[in-house]
Amino acid sequence: MTTQPQVRVFPRAEDLFEAAAEEFIRSANAAVREKGHFDVALSGGSTPKALYCLLANKPAGTIPWKEIRFFWGDERHVPPDDPESNYRMANEAMLSLVPLDSKNVFRVPAENPDASAAAADYEQTLRHTLLTGQDGLPRFDLILLGLGPDAHTASLFPGTKALHENSRLVVSNWVEKFNTDRITLTLPVIDNAAKVMFLVTGKDKASALSAVFDNHSNPEQFPAKLVQPRNGSLLWLLGQDAAAQVQRAS
């Protein structure tokens, strides 16, 4: 059963990130109460940095840092100290500043020159660390996602092979326009999450968002449209500029 997405639009970016922090904290505390830990896949790029900074500065005791297990939804094919690294961004903005348990940080081994091997390695990490259902799919409590101006999400880019991957959990995905491999969770994993939360700001995302919310657009061209949690919630936190062209799908 695919739930209807919840869409919230914020005139001020700081309100969007505060709402995102509240969602993160609520999900984390609920998961820790229920099962003793919280499994989250972080997103990369620039948008989520403000959320990570906000979370890192929350009062002690607000967030169960020691019980959170950190993963990534995707990673660039670079070492962890590279300026492009999603791990590096999250580590600098949040992870290095909070009292987490370092054994609970599961970064993608993207320093491996063989991107496919890095993806296979990370897939094993997911299989060995996360509970999987009968379908063999790990279930994240929360997956954070962003949106590119071309409506890619994670590293699921328009017209790329990974869009059609329905058995692997993690794959390397060649992205022609960047002339590089990326490593990404696949849609079966993303759609198995308990909650998926998109954070989208900036007018450069308005056209992509409009296409994603258009019932008639081609998902191949607008991959974020393919994110349809089967048994979980889908939440879009949108900046007013980014949402400017969204005619709420009827």
Binding mask 136-175 for ligand 6PG (x = CB under 6 A): ----------xxx---xxxx--------------------
3-state SS of the chain is CCCCCEEEEECCHHHHHHHHHHHHHHHHHHHHHHHCCEEEEECCCCCCHHHHHHHHCCCCCCCCHHHEEEEECEEECCCCCCCCCHHHHHHHHCHHHCCCCHHHECCCCCCCCCHHHHHHHHHHHHHHHCCECCCCCECCCEEEECCCCCCCECCECCCCHHHHCCCCCEEEEEEHHHCEEEEEECHHHHCCCCEEEEEECCHHHHHHHHHHCCCCCCCCCCHHHHCCCCCCEEEEEEECCCCCCCCCCC
Nearer to ligand 6PG, 43 or 186 (CB): 43
Binding mask 80-119 for ligand 6PG (x = CB under 6 A): ------x---------------------------------
- Shortest gap between Cβ of 46 and ligand 6PG (angstroms)? 4
- Shortest gap between Cβ of 45 and ligand 6PG (angstroms)? 3
When asked if residue 223 is in the footprint of ligand 6PG (CB under 6 A), the reply is: no
Nearer to ligand 6PG, 148 or 232 (CB): 148
Binding to ligand 6PG in span 20-79, by CB under 6 A: 43-47, 74
Nearer to ligand 6PG, 155 or 186 (CB): 155
Number of residues that bind ligand 6PG (CB under 6 A): 14
- Give the footprint of ligand 6PG on this chain (CB under 6 A): 43-47, 74, 86, 146-148, 152-155
